[in-house]
Structure 1
């Protein structure tokens, strides 16, 4: 399928900006500017996210004494209900991204009222390289367990979720629960993985086919990885889940990929590896769309349906 017509115009505009020197890819920018530019894209991609959502700031303690900021999202009418929880980790290659950049995503996940959404602001590289983000993800689970009653959350119906590098963190939590259960405070009942990074060690065909022109560029991936960790870190299963032993059945996985994405091939490989290990897997491919489609609710009409299908699956998995 060709690029979705709603997305095509945006990609053409982005390419025009590059050709005229008005914009540059993330990997060509100073770190601070890359972060601020990434934040600004949220206002373009989804300027009017759902408003009838209660957003509550929370604090999540970590093993090294730091306190992570977080946000708890829920439909306002469910404030007194005990809800299952989506623990959501934002994307951004461990280097960019924030609670603000993915505020619209969390609002859309909470809109149905079926789940509360807890989003931690895990610490970013290069200031906090691998494995800090992994530790922060695990510590967020511990904080959720400790605060569940106070926050009206059901800790026994936990869905770990994320997009891009955030999906990697969610995948690592699911692997930990299956392979190293003593290392995680709660066992997830399901995992929602949107266009995850699953193998930093190998270049695949999709890295070359969609190297540039589709928002996420292969050079930007390498820029992220260089900030995140050294060669040994890339080979660690906590950064490259395809390097893990996946023979133990994990929580059921919903793997959602973009057709035009350098990460496409490794996403397919990961879904296949999970299935071979007897983890129930639902693999969906969003034809015509690129990486980061969850943040495109304001420019691609079909994104609403992507959320609906993923949440329908999650509701069934969390019963």
Structure 2
């Protein structure tokens, strides 16, 4: 299948910017890359489906870190469903860029369309806090949710995990930890959007789409150099869940990948890895899109209807346990 036409035009504009001297992310400093990523969030904004209410929170990590989190609740829902089921969301950004703000609209879409509460986790970033800080924060967020859910009007027995790119890695690592019995929350679903699953390997798709398709393999290497400067740690299953032993109790997975993404093969391989362990898996391939398509609703009309597909799956999992 050909690349989506609107997205192809957008990538042409990116290439023109390169020709004019605009550096790629991996050619920038960390501070520059973060500022550019947040600026792109403003440029890529779109009208969200419906109103939500937002509250800011902070929890203490296992090493004393104060980690921000943002709670979204549906507003003006005809049938209020309190306590609300919860989607815990981990944003993408290669463990180096990204924030609660960069994925604010993504979380609002999931919140309103499902409907459910969404807890977005502002885990610590590298290089200031390299591996395994982000993993620790991802797991500690679930402990905090378990403890605070009654006071917040949330149903701690109806929880799903989700994330995109590096955030999807955190979501599936937390799902594995829960399956091992190491966390109080037992998620009913893990939704992984174009996940990073093998920081130590190489794939055909990484070679085929190494440049010119938004995420570039030199940028992936830049991320790993900051997050996993100790090369031996890249084989740790918490950085490369494709290398994990998957417990039988691991939550069912819905994995969405993009046809023009260097991470395509990693997503497919992880789906097979989970299936081999007996975990139910649905693999959705959006063949004409690239990495980061959750944030592309303002670029192509093809992106926004995907939220209907994804939230239908999420609603079925969360509300089935009511």
* Secondary structure in 2 matching 1:87: strand
8 Å Cα contact 2:114/2:311 also seen in 1: no
Q: What residue is the counterpart of 1:197 in the other structure?
A: 196
CA distance in 2, matches of 1:313, 1:113: 9
TM-score norm. by structure 2 comes to 0.95
Q: What residue is the counterpart of 2:277 in the other structure?
A: 277
Q: What residue is the counterpart of 1:153 in the other structure?
A: 154
CA distance in 1, matches of 2:26, 2:114: 38
8 Å Cα contact 2:114/2:315 also seen in 1: no
* Secondary structure in 2 matching 1:57: strand
1:185 equivalent to 2:188? Answer: no
CA distance in 1, matches of 2:174, 2:239: 12
* Secondary structure in 2 matching 1:302: coil
CA distance in 2, matches of 1:210, 1:139: 35
CA distance in 2, matches of 1:312, 1:51: 16
CA distance in 2, matches of 1:20, 1:26: 15
1:58 equivalent to 2:57? Answer: yes
CA distance in 1, matches of 2:113, 2:165: 23
Matched positions, count: 316
CA distance in 1, matches of 2:135, 2:307: 26
1:227 equivalent to 2:226? Answer: yes
8 Å Cα contact 1:234/1:240 also seen in 2: yes
Q: Which runs of 4+ in 1 moved over 4 A?
A: none
CA RMSD of aligned residues (A): 1.3
CA distance in 2, matches of 1:213, 1:275: 32
Q: What residue is the counterpart of 2:239 in the other structure?
A: 239
CA distance in 1, matches of 2:87, 2:24: 31
My pick for the range that moved more, 121-130 or 68-77, is: 68-77
* Secondary structure in 2 matching 1:215: coil
8 Å Cα contact 2:57/2:69 also seen in 1: yes
CA distance in 1, matches of 2:81, 2:3: 43
8 Å Cα contact 2:91/2:100 also seen in 1: yes
Q: What residue is the counterpart of 2:309 in the other structure?
A: 309
8 Å Cα contact 1:247/1:276 also seen in 2: no
CA distance in 2, matches of 1:111, 1:301: 19
Q: 1:247, CA displacement in angstroms?
A: 5.6
1:99 equivalent to 2:100? Answer: yes
8 Å Cα contact 1:56/1:71 also seen in 2: yes
Q: What residue is the counterpart of 1:165 in the other structure?
A: 166
* Secondary structure in 2 matching 1:232: helix
CA distance in 2, matches of 1:60, 1:111: 25
* Secondary structure in 2 matching 1:54: strand
8 Å Cα contact 2:56/2:69 also seen in 1: yes
TM-score norm. by structure 1 comes to 0.96
8 Å Cα contact 1:249/1:277 also seen in 2: no
List runs of 5+ in structure 1 lacking aligned partners. none
Q: Deviations over 1:91-122 (max 9, x none)?
A: 00000000111111101111225211000110
